[in-house]
């Protein structure tokens, strides 16, 4: 499905019935990140799975920000008629967006799930790398990012068929959207001070072998967020919902089951 929000076409999918859960994918991915485990949860929640601006099949713009992504999602919830607070699930860059969504649209947040992400802003050397990579992507295409990231996203023993599938998805992303997302990540604010202010139920999930946002990042957030829960999924890397969709779904189902009115 497509919705017109904030002047752009946003592609999204809705599955299931029940309490609404907003799923925010990472960089440079798409809502397909969630499809392996979507059917495992469709009996307990309404899954709202958009492609962020410029990624997947959503329309690209030359610039983006965490605030703009968050406002797009807020407008999308209005478009699909969701009025009650949602559980926000964000993986990697989706976690950065989740922090911003909490700050800007707190009244819409019922609970938060932070998957394979971190709260810290980029240090100067990473900001410089992101700028150089964005220029390369605009010049040579999104394969530049796909070639680098494919060996970082997954645990070492991940099947080649799964790696090839996601390499294709990343390489097929809009260069304009990928470059804009790199700029958005480089410019994002540090969310460390937000952690103790998170006053909704929170689950932190991380893959045991995540090499991009390792378990120590998850443990730091877990310790700083009041009453947060921590789930470490064994034998997987950064792409937990794809590498082990059953365990990811089980963890999320159990967490959703703890939420009360």
DSSP-based helix, strand, coil % in the chain, nearest 5: 50, 20, 35
Instruction: Give 166-203 pLDDT, tens digit per residue.
Output: 999 999 999 999 999 999 999 999 999 999 999 999 99
The pLDDT value given to residue 69: 98
**Residues near 34 by Cβ (< 8 Å), separated by ≥ 6?**
23, 25, 47, 49, 241
Quote the number of domains for the chain.
Answer: 1
62 inside domain: yes
CATH of the domain at 60: 3.40.50.1820
48 inside domain: yes
pLDDT band at 260 (very low <50, low <70, confident <90, very high): confident
**Residues near 148 by Cβ (< 8 Å), separated by ≥ 6?**
133
pLDDT at 68 > cutoff 90: yes
Task: Write out the residue range of the structural domain in which residue 45 sits.
Answer: 2-120+190-258
205 inside domain: yes
100 inside domain: yes
Structure tokens at 106: 């707190």
109 inside domain: yes
The pLDDT value given to residue 261: 65
The residues facing 86 across adjacent strands are 109
> Measured at the alpha carbon of residue 131, what is the angle toward residues 179 and 156, in degrees to the nearest 5?
75
68 inside domain: yes
Does the predicted model carry a pTM greater than 0.95?
A: yes
Lowest model confidence (mean pLDDT) among 84-88, 155-159, 240-244: 155-159
143 inside domain: no
pLDDT at 29 > cutoff 70: yes
Q: Is 21 exposed, middle or buried (0-12, 13-18, 19+ CB in 10 A)?
A: buried
Q: In angstroms, rounded to a whole number, what is the distance separating the alpha carbons of residues 168 and 28?
A: 11
């Amino acid at each position: 499905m497509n919705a017109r929000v904030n002047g752009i076409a946003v592609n999204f999918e809705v599955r299931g019935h029940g309490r609404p859960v907003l799923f925010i994918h990472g960089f440079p991915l798409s809502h397909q990140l969630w499809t392996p485990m979507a059917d495992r949860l469709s009996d307990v929640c309404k899954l709202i799975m958009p492609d962020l601006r410029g990624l997947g099949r959503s329309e690209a713009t030359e610039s983006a920000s965490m605030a703009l992504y968050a406002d797009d999602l807020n407008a999308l919830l209005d478009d699909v008629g969701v009025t009650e607070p949602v559980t926000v699930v964000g993986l990697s860059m989706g976690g950065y967006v989740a922090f911003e969504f909490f700050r800007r649209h707190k009244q819409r947040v019922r609970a938060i799930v932070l998957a394979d992400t971190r709260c810290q802003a980029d240090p100067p050397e990473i900001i410089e790398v992101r700028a150089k990579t964005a220029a390369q992507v605009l010049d040579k295409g999104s394969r530049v990012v796909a070639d680098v990231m494919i060996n970082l996203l997954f645990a070492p023993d991940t099947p080649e068929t799964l790696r090839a599938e996601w390499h294709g998805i990343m390489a097929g992303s809009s260069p304009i959207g990928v470059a804009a997302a790199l700029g958005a990540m480089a410019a994002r604010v540090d969310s460390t001070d937000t952690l103790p202010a998170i006053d909704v139920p929170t689950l932190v999930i991380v893959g045991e072998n995540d090499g991009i946002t390792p378990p120590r990042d998850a443990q730091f957030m877990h310790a700083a967020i009041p009453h947060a829960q921590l789930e470490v999924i064994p034998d997987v890397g950064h792409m937990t919902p794809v590498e082990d969709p059953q365990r990811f779904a089980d963890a999320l189902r159990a967490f959703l089951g703890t939420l009360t009115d």
